[in-house]
Structure 1
Amino acid sequence: MIPVDALLLFFAASVALAIAPGPDNIFVLTQSAINGKKSGFIITLGLCTGLLFHISAVALGVAAIFKTSTLAFTILKTVGAAYLLYLAWQAFRAGATDISNAANQKQGGWALYSRGVLMNITNPKVAIFFLSFLPQFADPARGSIPLQIIMLGIVFIIAALIVFSCIAWAASYISHWLNSSKRGQLVINRVAGVVFIGLACRLALSKQ
């Protein structure tokens, strides 16, 4: 069993890491600003569900493949970058009415949730980050390492849920202005498109 003080330290570190600018929280921020806090919360659930994949991979040792196999890493990061470029294309082609009605017309709950899951799973950096971060807080003297990894992963998910939900809640207030400003809708959508392109380039150029 992991001591409470170690779990609290890990939780604090997880919150700090979740707050640091990255693809996930930027994604929640832009989508919450465009579609409102409900969409941001749903995407947050999707992203955190994707974390379960990476946590399981680390617990089973599968993530080590992406750290040692150039081919596996390249394939996954290519898929992830392609998906981000697809999101950028959608953002650039959307008009003002598309944004204001996105939550009801084009972006249902399942679509938003799936988008969050896919974006997280197709980011190999998350797997490698978990592979290097979680084991630091596991100790063979405390028992099963896989069980400790799963426990730490759950704590990380809780931290991510709290941080991303706060981001979604704060960003949603921008949506009231967007819904009354067509120009504002177009601008934020173009900004979202640029962000997606930047994230895609960053992922495509990333190294193991």
Structure 2
Amino acid sequence: MGIEFLVTSFIVTASPGTGVLYTLATGLSRGFRASIVAAFGCTLGIVPHMAATIMGLAALLHTSALAFQIFKYAGVAYLLYVAWSTLRESGTLKVETEGEEHSAAKVTVTAVLINILNPKLTIFFLAFLPQFVSTDEAHPVPRMLELSAVFMLMTFVIFVGYGLLAAAVRDHVISRPRVLTWMRRTFAGAFVALGAKLAFTNI
């Protein structure tokens, strides 16, 4: 495993995207523990894309315009739903106190769906992983699984870092309702922007 793979993986995972935004929003609104759950869910959402790539299913999205469009617009619709729920008081950026219980399953499902409904991730794996598997590799599948595991571990660690950062400033957000309002609008706008970017993505 070369340094090129690690550097590329770091750049990809650390770059702001839907998973990063959701983890940050969760850390700000529900605290560090919830952000870990969100980070785990986002990491888990990588598994279907990894499996699709290794099994060759990503080729279907890459060659079938209809399949790609259906998958893409499902992702766009979900991102718009997340944006709408973020604007609501009961949505993604609802601030909760430590004593309030929140369903870890709900946070996990939302995080998983955010990453699953992103065909760009599958296409990324299709273009990314093969570059680091030698053409004369005797066992390419185990090698791809190894690289994918490292990518997922890096994703989880970096997302937890984002969650820790968000949780660290959480008290300042809670004590300033106006700041929370503007952050809610900012996150909602960011989800809409990412949805728009996905909508105009071609194979």
Q: TM-score, normalised by structure 1?
A: 0.89
* Aligned-partner Cα distance in 1 for 2:22–2:123: 20
1:9-42 Cα shifts (integer Å, max 9, x gaps): 4223211211122222222223322222222211
RMSD: 2.0
1:179 equivalent in alignment to 2:174: yes
1:94 equivalent in alignment to 2:94: no
1:120 equivalent in alignment to 2:148: no
Which residue matches 1:3? none
**Equivalent residue for 2:57, pick from 59, 62, 80:** 62
- Please report how far the alpha carbon of residue 121 of structure 1 lies from its aligned counterpart in structure 2 after TM superposition: 0.6
Q: SS of the counterpart of 2:94? A: helix
Which residue matches 1:169? 164
- Kindly provide the amino acid, as one letter, of the partner of residue 112 in structure 2: V
* Aligned-partner Cα distance in 2 for 1:77–1:103: 37
1:94-146 Cα shifts (integer Å, max 9, x gaps): 179x7222887684210000111111110000000010000100124232222
**Equivalent residue for 1:75, pick from 56, 61, 70:** 70
Percent identity between matched residues is: 28
C-alpha contact 1:34 1:189 (8 A) present in aligned 2:
no
1:181-200 Cα shifts (integer Å, max 9, x gaps): 22222221121111111111
- Kindly provide the amino acid, as one letter, of the partner of residue 60 in structure 1: M
* Change over 3 Å in CA distance of 1:107–1:63 after alignment to 2: farther
Which residue matches 1:139? 134
C-alpha contact 1:37 1:168 (8 A) present in aligned 2:
yes
Counting only pairs closer than 5 Å after superposition, residues 13-52 of structure 1 correspond to structure 2 as 13-52=8-47
C-alpha contact 1:46 1:116 (8 A) present in aligned 2:
yes
- Please report how far the alpha carbon of residue 73 of structure 1 lies from its aligned counterpart in structure 2 after TM superposition: 0.7
1:203 equivalent in alignment to 2:198: yes
Identify unmatched segments of 5+ residues in structure 1.
1-5
Q: TM-score, normalised by structure 2?
A: 0.91
* Aligned-partner Cα distance in 1 for 2:84–2:98: 18
Higher helix share: 1
* Aligned-partner Cα distance in 1 for 2:98–2:196: 28
C-alpha contact 2:28 2:95 (8 A) present in aligned 1:
no
Which residue matches 2:145? 150
- Kindly provide the amino acid, as one letter, of the partner of residue 141 in structure 1: D
Identify unmatched segments of 5+ residues in structure 2.
none
Q: Comparing 139-148 with 155-164, which one deviates more in the overlay?
A: 139-148
Q: Comparing 152-161 with 100-109, which one deviates more in the overlay?
A: 100-109
* Aligned-partner Cα distance in 2 for 1:144–1:112: 37
- Kindly provide the amino acid, as one letter, of the partner of residue 147 in structure 2: L
C-alpha contact 2:53 2:125 (8 A) present in aligned 1:
yes
* Aligned-partner Cα distance in 2 for 1:89–1:104: 26
